[in-house]
Amino acid sequence: MTTDQILLFSLFGIVFGLLLWGRFRYDLVAFGALMIAVVLGLVPASDAFAGFGHPATLVVALVLVVSAGLVRSGAVFLITRTLVDASRSLGAHIAIMGGVGGVLSAFMNNVAALALLMPVDIATARKAGRSPGLSLMPLSFATILGGMVTLIGTPPNIIIAAIREESLGESFGMFDFAPVGGAAAIAGLAFVAFIGWRFIPIRDSGVGGDALGELAPYISELSVPENNKLVGTRLRDLLEPAEKADVAILGLVRDGKRRFGMGRNLVLQAGDILVLEAVPEALDEFRTALKLDFAPEGHPIEDAVGEGVSLVEMVVTDSSRIAGRTAQAIGLGWRKRTVLMGISRKGQRMTKRLRQTIIQPGDILLLLTPSDTGEDVVDWLGGLTLADRGLSVTRDSKTWAAIGFFAGAVIAASLGLVYLPIALGLVVVAYVLFKILPLAEIYDHIEWPVVVLLGSMIPLGAALESSGGTELLAQGLVSISEGWPAWGTLTLLMVVTMTLSDVLNNTATAIVAAPVGIRMAETLEVNPDPFLMAVAVAASAAFLTPIGHKNNTLVLGPGGYGFGDYWRMGLPLEIIVIGVSIPTILLVWPL
């Protein structure tokens, strides 16, 4: 071994030791290792920050922004209302989400599939009152497994097909990967759904809720607009969607008069005001599902909706302008284009319209304000802003536009018309131009520690490859397997490829391991296709760390995981994948 190889292997050992220990944050460990590698001359100074512009890093950042746009547009609610039920058991939820994720990943990039389903999973976890960390890792693993089934499902399959064409004169077809990849995916999904998720340590990711979530629900109002499908139906018809969204219907206001009691047979009319009790997230879901309005027609907030609106929570103090007065009396609507969406007053029942209710010190108000004016409104009112807990307003009028942009990008990238990072970047630009996602929020949705982790580790992986470290591993593999039976050689190849994929990018692993597989087949004088299939499955099966696959990296922050959490479910899953793949390969692709 050369000095550079010794230093790099030692540095990788120290990095992974610190990451598994968990004493220091993963992004600081990785960045520190990168700086040491530059000082030691292992990574050229000119390439030190190349990882931050690497496609893998850009894809992770862009996918998080696109996911936020899908949430804000209401695209996620289309799935949650028809597919996801928060009352299901965790195992049943994981089985359904994993199955959907696996199928989507077979026909679209598995990173894009996770981008679509991750917000759905988080929303379901919030409604079910559990940590998203219990289901996000299974969802990530399911989308990785599904990508093994087709040529376009995952980059390693595309690379291996190209290497086969260069070496053997013919590429693999779209569904040549299906027998082996499908068997591994089905077995893996069954394990993840019924057993594997139990191995995940319970952690609070901060995504599923916080101390503010313990606040009492708000008393709120939503209006029935003209031409709404609810006009002419009865109030009782709203009970099921209200229950599904976890909203309580307290009554109805018509012609300025509030009618308490359910009045279940009351026929709804345009302009009716529904009086509701709900937390902000449930209120927004209910409004989006039934296409209700924030405020009666003619309110000044209507002009601001097209430009973007935000939800702000504030506490009323003794010195607040609104204390002892009503929202109507101080002109909250016409002065600040702001709607009083809800009042949280523990232990007391309000009997008047929200804008006519006298506000008391200690009340918590839910305000709907034009974007970027929330702080000014709170300052004008003289209240105290509660800590931001990520409340947002769904732009349901943009739902199909958001889906169309996303679907178009995925199709173009899957067909090879546009490079995936470029396709996702165009989606982000479209979301901003069409006001699906406010420009001011773009950077808020990026997990910057994850970006630093990837940006730091990619140059280190490239240095290991350029120094001959990966080639050294390949040569050792060939010599170790000399004289072994075919199944033993295939197993060794899969184990080593999986190990490399957990450390390096899975694309780089496929590039290194596929030629090794062909060389091993030539040495044994057997068909190289079984070895290429073994590499294809193993390169994608990166389940031990958050850096082996972009999907694992994407759920690292939202799931609240530590670096050492992945192997608990990932190690038995990799064993299952090997155990299923080897006999299937030997059956479908005879030596």
pLDDT tens, position by position, 334-393: 888 888 888 887 756 566 677 788 888 888 888 888 877 888 898 999 888 875 655 666
Q: What pLDDT score does 392 carry?
A: 64
CA distances from 326 to 70, 221, 257, 359, 363 (A): 36, 15, 17, 6, 12
Rounded to an integer, what distance in angstroms lies between the CA atom of residue 317 and that of residue 321? 9
pLDDT > 50? residue 210: no
Give the pair of three-digit tokens for residue 379: 């300052």
Give the mean model confidence (pLDDT) for residues 216-244.
84
Distance between CA atoms of 323 and 384, rounded to whole angstroms?
12
Domain boundaries, the chain: 6-205+449-588, 211-293, 296-388
Burial 77-94 (b: 16+ CB within 10 A, else e): bbbbbeebebeeebeebb
Supply the pLDDT for residue 297: 53
Q: Decide if pLDDT at 187 tops 90.
A: yes
Q: Is the pLDDT of residue 262 over 60?
A: no
* Mean pLDDT of the region 148-165: 83
pLDDT of residue 505: 64
- 469 vs 195, residue with greater confidence: 195
Calculate what percentage of the chain has a pLDDT beyond 90.
20
Q: Which of 24-28, 37-41, 190-194, 477-481 has the lowest mean pLDDT?
A: 477-481
Tens digit of each residue's pLDDT (9 = 90 or more) over 468-507: 876 777 677 778 877 788 788 899 999 989 988 887 667 7
Task: Give the residue from 94, 96, 114, 95 showing the smallest Cα distance to 104.
Answer: 114
- Indicate whether 448 pLDDT > 50: yes
What confidence score (pLDDT) does residue 68 get?
Answer: 79
Sheet with 218-223, side-by-side order of all strands: 257-260, 248-254, 273-278, 218-223, 339-344, 364-370, 309-315, 384-385
Is the separation of the CB atoms in 442 and 72 below 8 Å? Answer: no
| CB-CB contact of 278 with 366 (8 Å) | no
Say how far apart CA 287 and CA 50 lie, in whole Å.
Answer: 45
Residue 454 predicted with pLDDT over 80:
no
Is pLDDT larger for residue 221 or for residue 530? 530
pLDDT confidence of residue 420: 78
Structure tokens at 343: 């009042």
Per-residue b or e along 470-500, where b marks 16 or more CB atoms closer than 10 Å to that residue's CB = beebbeebeeebeeeebeebbbbbbbbbbbb
Residues shown for the chain = 591
DSSP one-letter string for 110-165: HHHHHHHHHHHHHHHHHHHTS-THHHHHHHHHHHHHHTTSSTTSSHHHHHHHHHHH
- Residue corresponding to tokens 């990095």: 15
Which pLDDT band, with edges at 50, 70 and 90, does 49 fall under? very high
Residue partners of 433: CB distance under 8 A and separation at least 6: none
Instruction: Tell me: pLDDT of 302 over 60.
Output: no
79 falls in which pLDDT band (50, 70, 90)? low
DSSP state of 5: H
More confident residue, 307 or 195: 195
Place of tokens 């679907």: 407
Residue 209 has pLDDT above 50, yes or no: no
Comparing 166 with 404, the larger pLDDT belongs to: 404
Q: Establish whether domains 211-293 and 296-388 are of one fold.
A: yes
Q: What pLDDT shows up at residue 393?
A: 64
**CATH superfamily of the 296-388 domain:** Regulator of K+ conductance, C-terminal domain (3.30.70.1450)
The contacts of residue 441 (CB under 8 Å, 6+ apart) are: 68
Report the distance separating Cα 95 and Cα 76, nearest Å. Answer: 19
User: In the numeric block, which tokens belong to residue 207?
Assistant: 């995504």
295 in Cβ contact with 339 (< 8 Å) = yes
Split at pLDDT 50, 70, 90, the class of 30 is confident
pLDDT class of 260 with cuts at 50, 70, 90:
low
Largest distance between two CA atoms of the chain: 89
Per-residue pLDDT at 208: 45
- Answer whether residue 161 shows pLDDT above 80: yes
Do the Cβ atoms of 73 and 395 come closer than 8 Å? Answer: yes
Average pLDDT over residues 514-534: 85
Residue 188 has pLDDT above 90, yes or no: yes
Q: Given a cut of 60, is residue 585 above it in pLDDT?
A: yes
Task: Name the DSSP class of 564.
Answer: G
Whether the per-residue pLDDT at 459 is higher than 80: the answer is yes
In the predicted model, is pLDDT for residue 204 greater than 70?
no
Q: Is it the case that residue 121 has pLDDT exceeding 60?
A: yes
CB count, 10 Å around CB of 134? 23
Mean pLDDT of the region 238-250:
81
> 0.75 exceeded by the pTM?
no
Q: What is the pLDDT of residue 396?
A: 65
Distances (CA, A) of 558 to 206, 293, 447: 8, 31, 9
Mean per-residue pLDDT over the chain, rounded: 82
The domain made up of 211-293 is a member of CATH 3.40.50.720: no
